[in-house]
Amino acid sequence: MINVLLVTKGHPYEREPFYDIFEQMPEVTWTLVEQPAAQALFDVRHAGDYDAFVMYDMPGIQFQPGMPPQFPDPPQAYRSALRELIDAGHGFVFLHHAIAGWPAWPEYADILGGRFLYMADELRGVARQDSGYRHGVTHEIEVVRQHPVTAGVPDRFTMTDELYLYEVFEEDVTPLLRSNYNFTNQNFYSATHAVRDGRMFSNEGWSHAPGSNLVGWCRELGPSRLVYLQGGDDPVAYADANYRKLIHNAIKWVSAKD
């Protein structure tokens, strides 16, 4: 049996349909902990109770209606604990909005392999525009690498979900899944318009360079294994059999000790 710590909070979601993914998952038991309480378990002395952490959280962002969000720094103890877990070979699966977490902490983006930006910022020494989002997109996903995470998933499958026009460090990750959607600013809405200006579903006056169509990848950081899956916004996505298979495979792969 694989023991999973499921970490949430920071972004709204429909709880019961999401939890059902894990309730129906064979050979997996799970424990739910919300941020910031979850930070106490990012400790090599306690994390050994869990084979993997599944991150569906978005910490480090404080939204303020009509104003730019605030981005507090993570506690130094939490930063050190995450590095220690990676050095100890702990496994992580990051889902959907988790890629927006801790925007004030550059190393977090380096660990995940990318970043969703709610506000324009500098990333790896380059000025970047705020990221884009688009709900309810029906798109085709192609498996671009045969890997334990993609085992048993069709080479191509269709999914309806929210997509991101975001920053991906493709040179640092192993690509697993690509979308056939057109990742250009005309097809997305500005994150800043939504959270600062209260203008949902607007790209007026917003520009963004064409982005990566990579929607799933993995990494090995020393002995630690990590998977990011961009999917997972709503119950339509949660119920998708291929999405559930990918999460299950990812948990098994990052939990493996060999």
178-210 pLDDT, tens per residue?
Answer: 999 999 999 999 999 999 999 999 999 999 999
Average pLDDT on 63-74 reads: 93
The domains found in the chain, sorted by start residue, are 2-118+128-255 (3.40.50.880)
Question: In the prediction, which pLDDT does 24 show?
Answer: 97
pLDDT of residue 258 exceeding 70:
no
For 4, half-sphere exposure in the C-beta direction (CA atoms, 13 angstrom radius) is 30
Average pLDDT on 151-179 reads: 98
pLDDT of residue 147 exceeding 90:
yes
Using DSSP's 3-state secondary structure scheme, residue 238 falls into: helix
**Over pLDDT 70: what percentage of the chain?**
100
Reading the block at residue 119, the tokens are: 């506000």
Q: How sure is the predictor about 48, in pLDDT bands with cuts at 50, 70 and 90?
A: confident
Question: In the prediction, which pLDDT does 139 show?
Answer: 98
19-46 pLDDT, tens per residue?
Answer: 999 999 999 999 999 999 999 999 888 8
- What contacts 48, CB < 8 A, 6 or more positions away? none
**Mean per-residue pLDDT over the chain, rounded:** 96
How would DSSP label each residue in 175-216? EEEEE-S--SGGGSEEHHHHHTS--TT--TT--------EEE
Short-list 155, 129, 162, CA closest to 229: 162
